[in-house]
Amino acid sequence: MRELTVDLGERSYHIYIGEGLLNEADTYFSKHGISNKSPLLIITDTNIAPLHLAFLEERLQGGGFKAFSAVVPSGEGSKSLSMLEELIAKALDAGLDRKSTIVALGGGVVGDLAGFVAASFMRGVKFVQIPTTILAHDSSVGGKVAVNHPKAKNIIGAFHQPEFVLYDLNLLQTLPPREVRSGLSEVVKHGLIWDASFVQWCEDHADRLLALDADSLGYALHNGCSVKASVVSQDERENGLRAILNLGHTIGHAIEAVGGYNGLQHGEAIAIGMVGSAKLGVRYGAPEEVYTTTKRVLAKCELPTALPEHFDVDAIMEAMMHDKKFAEGTMVFIVPSAIGEVEIKSDVPVAWVREIVEELKLEVEQL
Amino acid sequence: MRELTVDLGERSYHIYIGEGLLNEADTYFSKHGISNKSPLLIITDTNIAPLHLAFLEERLQGGGFKAFSAVVPSGEGSKSLSMLEELIAKALDAGLDRKSTIVALGGGVVGDLAGFVAASFMRGVKFVQIPTTILAHDSSVGGKVAVNHPKAKNIIGAFHQPEFVLYDLNLLQTLPPREVRSGLSEVVKHGLIWDASFVQWCEDHADRLLALDADSLGYALHNGCSVKASVVSQDERENGLRAILNLGHTIGHAIEAVGGYNGLQHGEAIAIGMVGSAKLGVRYGAPEEVYTTTKRVLAKCELPTALPEHFDVDAIMEAMMHDKKFAEGTMVFIVPSAIGEVEIKSDVPVAWVREIVEELKLEVEQL
């Protein structure tokens, strides 16, 4: 079992990573002072509920906790204010009070939604995260929670740190291969911004990660979480440094937006975005190796590294213009200067970005 | 001009109280580092907009701020998630970003709603309060913001402290008399829980307060805010002490709930509640004077001190059972032990409370 601490002063918390942790869920809940007098509410989705909900409820009820549950439809559509209203109704019906806890059992969508329920119910109650995807290692550190507005993603939210995170590697065994790859994209990102040796390790262990080898997964998640924890503990509310976590995300979000819900997955889109950022880095004088290594490690994880032919450059540029990071003629970009090192450039010419996006369409996939 | 600081560490802020402060709104905004590059959004209601909105917008625009505004229907009905969604849309349309500010121009409803917009938009932006009622002195200290759920009031919210509060006494001159009285109820409450000499002062100056004498109002608001600031700075997130601010509120909320929206106003209901709490205090051994003084000072402020005949005791008891503060056979109550002193009693017999409510119907109004 691996363990790490996200250091945020009085809001610090532990992340436990290991096989079979769900079997001892009640022990972890007790150890962290979760009330067994006030009811708690597990929020999960229609994908995860049939796989793991009954087991978790049993463990918690067996440990004397008053566990209730709510199941939301899987997918981004559940991150809405109307779902928040429904879940608050569930919480009230189950008799939750200010000493109650909200538990997120799921991936990023469930974590974001349940986290915002926890942040806003009675102005904030305790929150526990039990991630069920690799990608969720990213959202399990840093306390960003939110729902969507019809006009913008993640625009209504809070910073609300969990009491602890219980990462049971066994829950990852049922992940569809595409979600495995998508999750690895954020793992690699954490290496690219912070730790060259971890990038090398990812390249060497990509096969084992794709095969869901528990020990490799545990190491990768521990390192990914550690990098994010280091960044977040220096800048909890994203006043500066935390922005480096957005490596690949400006182009990536635009690719996602243009692709629509049935386009590329988040991890796939940011993989292409990270190749773009690496190319930008080389333009700014980084060694060519930044680009070749970025592309190679992502390809090893079976992630796309070129923009599919049918994407329209104009549409992608327009989607980027709507991004918060844009200002007259220049853009803010996270740009690698070496493997494991990035800089925040605030005056990247839009023209350069367009050229990079055009080049991304001409990239040859390295498989 | 009077000034006080709400001491909350790095979330500390100033409250300015005086005549004509709105004339210098732009100066205060600049002084407190409100951005003139990012747009700001003033939220107000249909009562206040025709009186003061154009003036405030002019002052801010004259000072170089990009001021936009949104007007919501007056009344508790606007504290909803659907109104939150509308206001977030307005914020997006006006181009607000993470450096923007939300300004509440109004009473408690506008403050709660705008405050929750500020707390949740992009996970939290700056917030400025410009109260337009006496009652709002209470909600302007402590950062409690919220909207309602169809099943419960104030159940979706946050703690979000303002950058500063600008209390222009001139804005109070247009308050309807009943709202003046209702506001004074919370002012008196702050004396009753903390400061006997201020209770005496309220009794001596009730006539002037009712006549909206600016100097008396300024003193009363400054003292009311100071008491609340003292309590809140010792217990920002209501883990203990902050509960004393609920003096009169358990019975008061039940009276409000039973009365419905056209029943008694908040301040009126808690005035009756405070008489009930005083009677309970005497039962617990407080001097008779606690009851007589409480009743006398409230009567001087022309507030009700007896429960109107048509209220049903059973209905009030039932409404109280739904209150968070109830547990098997006993209730938590804030009980005065002397004028200016209260205790938190966690085991008040429900039977006593019922007797007190019955007695409140038999009280003779002291006018």
Please report whether residue A152 resides in a domain.
yes
What CATH number is associated with residue A261?
A: 1.20.1090.10
In angstroms, the CA A271 to CA A184 distance is 10
In angstroms, the CA A166 to CA A170 distance is 12
pLDDT at B320: 86
* Chain A residue closest in CA terms to B118: A156
- C-alpha R_g of chain A: 20
Domain termination site, one of A143, A158, A174: A174
Q: Are residues B188 and B162 in the same domain?
A: no
Question: pLDDT by residue (tens digit) across A154-167?
Answer: 999 999 999 999 99
Q: In terms of DSSP bridges, do strands A326-327 and A330-338 run parallel, antiparallel, or are they unpaired?
A: antiparallel
Alpha helices by DSSP H, A104-158: 108-120, 136-139
Question: pLDDT by residue (tens digit) across B46-90?
Answer: 999 999 999 999 999 999 999 999 999 999 999 999 999 999 999
In angstroms, the CA A31 to CA A65 distance is 13
What rounded mean pLDDT belongs to chain B?
94
Q: Are residues B121 and B162 in the same domain?
A: yes
| B181 is an active site residue | no
Number of folded domains that form chain B: 2
CB within 8 Å: A156 and B324: no
* Chain A residue closest in CA terms to B325: A97
Angstrom distances, CA of residue A362 to CA of A295, A355, A359, B55 = 14, 11, 5, 57
| B228 is an active site residue | yes
Q: Please give the angle made by the CA atoms of B212, B213 and B218, to the nearest 5 degrees.
A: 95
What rounded mean pLDDT belongs to chain A?
94
Please report whether residue A346 resides in a domain.
yes
CB within 8 Å: A156 and B89: no
* pLDDT(A260) > 90: no
**From the candidates A120, A148, A159, which should be mutated to test the interface with B, based on the most B CB atoms within 10 A?**
A120
Is the Cβ of B327 closer than 8 Å to some Cβ of chain A?
no
Pick the most confident of A227-236, B5-14, B186-195, B232-241.
Answer: B186-195
In angstroms, the CA A335 to CA A283 distance is 10
In angstroms, the CA B278 to CA B295 distance is 9
Q: Are residues B107 and B222 in the same domain?
A: no
In angstroms, the CA B192 to CA B200 distance is 10
Q: Are residues A112 and A187 in the same domain?
A: no
Question: pLDDT by residue (tens digit) across B246-283?
Answer: 999 999 999 988 886 568 999 999 999 999 999 999 99
* pLDDT(A79) > 70: yes
* Chain A residue closest in CA terms to B121: A156
pLDDT at A295: 97
* CB distance B302 to B210 below 8 Å: yes
* pLDDT(B345) > 60: yes
Q: How far is A124 from chain B (nearest CA, A)?
A: 7
Q: Which residues of B touch A157 (CB under 8 A)?
A: 120, 122-123
Residue of B126, B266, B295, B300 with catalytic role: B266
* pLDDT(A324) > 90: no
Please report whether residue B288 resides in a domain.
yes
In angstroms, the CA B158 to CA B112 distance is 10
CB within 8 Å: B121 and A85: no
pLDDT at B330: 84
In angstroms, the CA A72 to CA A80 distance is 11
| B203 is an active site residue | no
Q: Is B46 annotated as belonging to a binding site?
A: no
Domain termination site, one of A174, A208, A233: A174
- A vs B, Cβ pairs < 8 A, gives 73
b/e sequence B132-170, b meaning 16+ C-beta within 10 Å: bbbbbbbbbbbbbbbbbbeeeebbbbbbbbbbbbbbbbe
Instruction: Tell me what percent of the residues of chain B surpass a pLDDT of 70.
Output: 97
In angstroms, the CA B210 to CA B165 distance is 23
Region B103-131 average pLDDT: 97
Q: Which residues of B touch A156 (CB under 8 A)?
A: 84, 88, 120-121
Residue A328 pLDDT level (bands cut at 50, 70, 90): low
Please report whether residue A367 resides in a domain.
no
pLDDT at B189: 98
Q: Are residues A94 and A237 in the same domain?
A: no
Q: Are residues B205 and B138 in the same domain?
A: no
Q: Are residues A40 and A115 in the same domain?
A: yes
Q: Are residues B115 and B226 in the same domain?
A: no
Q: Are residues A186 and A169 in the same domain?
A: no
pLDDT at A257: 86
Residue A327 pLDDT level (bands cut at 50, 70, 90): low
Domain hosting A154: range is: 2-174
B355 Cβ neighbours under 8 A, 6+ residues apart:
none
Q: Measure CB to CB from residue B149 to each of A89, A144, A158 and give the nearest one.
A: A89
Please report whether residue B239 resides in a domain.
yes
Question: pLDDT by residue (tens digit) across B126-168?
Answer: 999 999 999 999 999 999 999 999 988 899 999 999 999 999 9
Residue A102 φ then ψ, to 5°: -105, 130
Beta-bridge partner residues of B146: B157
Domain termination site, one of B174, B197, B214: B174
CB within 8 Å: B120 and A123: no
Q: Are residues B166 and B183 in the same domain?
A: no
ipTM here: 0.92
What CATH number is associated with residue B127?
A: 3.40.50.1970
CB within 8 Å: B84 and A156: yes
Angle between helix B81-93 and B108-120 (nearest 10): 60
Q: Are residues B91 and B189 in the same domain?
A: no
CB within 8 Å: A88 and B149: yes
Q: Is B6 annotated as belonging to a binding site?
A: no
Question: pLDDT by residue (tens digit) across A98-155?
Answer: 999 999 999 999 999 999 999 999 999 999 999 999 999 999 999 999 999 998 889 9
Q: Are residues A250 and A170 in the same domain?
A: no
Please report whether residue B367 resides in a domain.
no
Residue B364 pLDDT level (bands cut at 50, 70, 90): confident
Q: Measure CB to CB from residue B159 to each of A81, A123, A151 and give the nearest one.
A: A123
Residue B238 pLDDT level (bands cut at 50, 70, 90): confident
Question: pLDDT by residue (tens digit) across A49-75?
Answer: 999 999 999 999 999 999 999 999 999
pLDDT at A147: 97
* Chain A residue closest in CA terms to B97: A324
Please report whether residue A288 resides in a domain.
yes
Q: Which residues of B touch A84 (CB under 8 A)?
A: 81, 156
Please report whether residue B36 resides in a domain.
yes
pLDDT at A326: 53
A191 Cβ neighbours under 8 A, 6+ residues apart:
A198, A199, A201, A202, A223, A224, A227, A297, A340
Strands in B101-106's sheet, in edge-to-edge order, are B2-6, B13-18, B164-168, B126-131, B101-106, B40-45, B67-72
Residue B101 φ then ψ, to 5°: -130, 140
pLDDT at A259: 83
Q: Which residue has the higher pLDDT, A31 or A319?
A: A31
Range with lowest mean pLDDT among A41-45, A295-299, B55-59, B254-258: B254-258
Q: Is A222 annotated as belonging to a binding site?
A: no
**From the candidates B10, B82, B88, B123, which should be mutated to test the interface with A, based on the most A CB atoms within 10 A?**
B123
Q: Which residues of A touch B237 (CB under 8 A)?
A: 124
Instruction: Tell me what percent of the residues of chain A surpass a pLDDT of 70.
Output: 97
